[in-house]
Amino acid sequence: MAVVNQYKFAGIDNSTSGSALTPLGASVPAVNETIVIKSILVTSAGTPSVTILNNSITALKSVPLTANQTKELLTQPLIIEGGKTFTVQSSTSDSFDVAISYLNIKKEVTT
């Protein structure tokens, strides 16, 4: 079994009210992957509160944002296990962008 490490970036522009966003994709990470999120940067046009969910467990709750500023939400890396979900949700209709830097660790079967 080979392990492949890929450093990646995902960004998403949110302009909807309270919808759950999946910036890493709906099916990521796959069962054979682990994701280590190093940075979650949020740039806001308004003043929403952002909540980060890791497999339906609240990792960051109602982080308030200031208009027209960028804020780093993480102080430590966040691990997303394979087959789990990662979502970002806003409390209001204020527009904000989410930028995520992460390490994707893939376990590949080689024969």
pTM: 0.83
Question: What pLDDT is attached to residue 16?
Answer: 61
SS3 of 41-78: the string is: EEEECCCCEEEEEECCEEEEEEEECCCCEEEECCCCCE
- Side chain identity, residue 111: T
Between these two residues, 20 and 6, which has the higher pLDDT value? 6
Tokens 């990521």 -> residue: 28
Element holding 50 (H helix, E strand) = strand 49-54
pLDDT, mean over the chain = 84
Check pLDDT > 80 for residue 20.
no
Question: What pLDDT is attached to residue 94?
Answer: 72
For residue 11, give the nearest of 103, 101, 77 by alpha carbon.
101
What is the rounded distance in angstroms from the CA atom of residue 60 to the CA atom of residue 90? 12
